[in-house]
Structure 1
Amino acid sequence: MIEAISEKITGFLVDSNEISEDINEFRCYKYGIEIALSSILNIVLILSIGAVTGRFIESVIFLAVFIPIRQFSGGYHADTYFRCNLFFCISFVMVLLLFEILKVYNSVYLLLAIDLFSLSIIAFFSPIENRNKPIPAEKRMGLKLKAILISALISLVSLIMHCYWVVYGSLLSCTLLMISVLIISGKIKERRKRNYES
């Protein structure tokens, strides 16, 4: 569906003489529109799940943490837009479930352990490359540093918030943990692909 809509929008841009009929330019615009539509759909789905479950604020916090880190760290990428949307929704639901469990324990040490684990994974493995968007070697270190810095800042905020708003401190840590799980999953998928191709 996303691909079909992107094809029509890109075709409209060609017909309106906004872009040329060059096939490479067409593909480039089409892919960009696909990514934009998929991202918008992901955000709408997460906010909808948050609204339906009475966790709208949690959905906003999840997106505010997940999107910037993931932009620099990369991680698991599904092979279709449907799977991407599905996995993103499942990730959010899993964060909410873990968040409910952590609220029971209310331990700053547990949050610290989760944050340190997540930071270690992000620092060691990121950025994970997407096959459709290869990362030039000279940009890898910059992306890694940005992912580490944002994650470290969120970890610090998580621990501070634990003292005042336990609920949201736990949510930040759960989201970081989910990002690190997706990074590990992305690394495993990347390794399997390499083994399959060799």
Structure 2
Amino acid sequence: MAKYLAQGTAEKIGQLAGLSPEDREVVAYGLDYLLSGIIGLTLMLAIGLALGFFSETLVIISCWTFIRIFAGGVHCTALWRCTVVNCLGITAAIFFTKGVYYFFPTIFWVGISVIWAISATWLWAPNNSEKPVNEPEMRRKLRLRALFMVTVISSLVIFASNITVEPWSSLAAAGATGLAAGGIMLSPIGFRLVKRLDQKLEKLSRF
């Protein structure tokens, strides 16, 4: 849906602005990317709201997104499949966070997630399935930048986990889940999982 809407809008913009067919394709891709992001974010927040976990969902998405921006991570081969996988991921993350929050001390989950996120960033960042960075010096700089961002997020989550008044504890658990998810998307396991889901969704779309 987003793709067709983007293409139609790009055609109208192209006609009004006198853009070449190549420029219209660029505009269409940018609009498709923007609309897919808006739709995906809206759906994920709607899932959180429906499950009574809206604030925590927002925290999970924020931590997850910042790690992906600075450290990279696996992508699907189509934007709509990225949206579907992200919605499945956020649903799983919400249920997981609820389970951890109700059955384990928050500080325990926070500690595990922080260690994992920092380790994953050190081992695999920057990691991008589309445009891998191979130049050693550039990789070092990008890794240090990613580690700095993960450390900042981790510090905020640890700080929140030490506030026993609600909703800080549940928000800290959600932040820890966001950190863990960001680390998973950097790892070889995350790559294999997303690629398999991508292939399954591609096959389903052919029916």
Q: TM > 0.5 between the two? A: yes
How far does the alpha carbon of each residue in 1:126-184 deviate from its partner, in whole angstroms, 9 at most, with x for none?
A: 222242x5658475444433322221111111111111122111111111111111112
Q: Which residue of 2 aligns with 1:177?
A: 180
1:15 CA drift (Å): 0.3
Tell me the distance in 2 between the aligned counterparts of 1:124 and 1:148.
10
1:187 CA drift (Å): 4.7
Where 1:39 maps in the other structure, the secondary structure is helix
1:53 CA drift (Å): 1.3
Runs of 5+ consecutive residues of structure 1 not aligned to the other structure: 193-198
Tell me the matched-pair count.
Answer: 189
1:113 CA drift (Å): 2.2
TM-score normalized with structure 2 length = 0.80
Q: Which residue of 2 aligns with 1:125?
A: 124
**Aligned residue among 40, 45, 64 for 1:42:** 40
1:99 CA drift (Å): 0.9
Say whether 1:153 aligns with 2:158: no
Quote the RMSD (CA, aligned, Å): 2.6
Q: Contact conserved, 1:128 with 1:187, CA < 8 A, in 2?
A: no
Corresponding letter in the other structure for 1:13 = I
Deviates more, 1:160-169 or 1:137-146: 137-146
Deviates more, 1:179-188 or 1:55-64: 179-188
1:39 CA drift (Å): 0.8
Tell me the distance in 1 between the aligned counterparts of 2:5 and 2:139.
32
Q: Which residue of 2 aligns with 1:7?
A: 7
Shift in alpha-carbon separation, 1:187–1:127, aligned structure 2, 3 A: farther
Tell me the distance in 1 between the aligned counterparts of 2:114 and 2:146.
14
Tell me the distance in 2 between the aligned counterparts of 1:67 and 1:180.
11
Deviates more, 1:102-111 or 1:41-50: 102-111
Query: Percent sequence identity over matched residues?
Result: 20
Where 2:128 maps in the other structure, the secondary structure is coil
Runs of 5+ consecutive residues of structure 2 not aligned to the other structure: 197-207
**Aligned residue among 60, 71, 74 for 1:73:** 71
Where 1:78 maps in the other structure, the secondary structure is coil
Shift in alpha-carbon separation, 1:52–1:8, aligned structure 2, 3 A: same
Tell me the distance in 2 between the aligned counterparts of 1:78 and 1:37.
16
Corresponding letter in the other structure for 1:67 = T
Q: Which residue of 2 aligns with 1:111?
A: 110
TM-score normalized with structure 1 length = 0.83
Q: Contact conserved, 1:77 with 1:186, CA < 8 A, in 2?
A: no
Where 1:77 maps in the other structure, the secondary structure is coil
Report 1:17-36 matches (<5 A).
Answer: 17=17, 20-23=19-22, 25-36=23-34
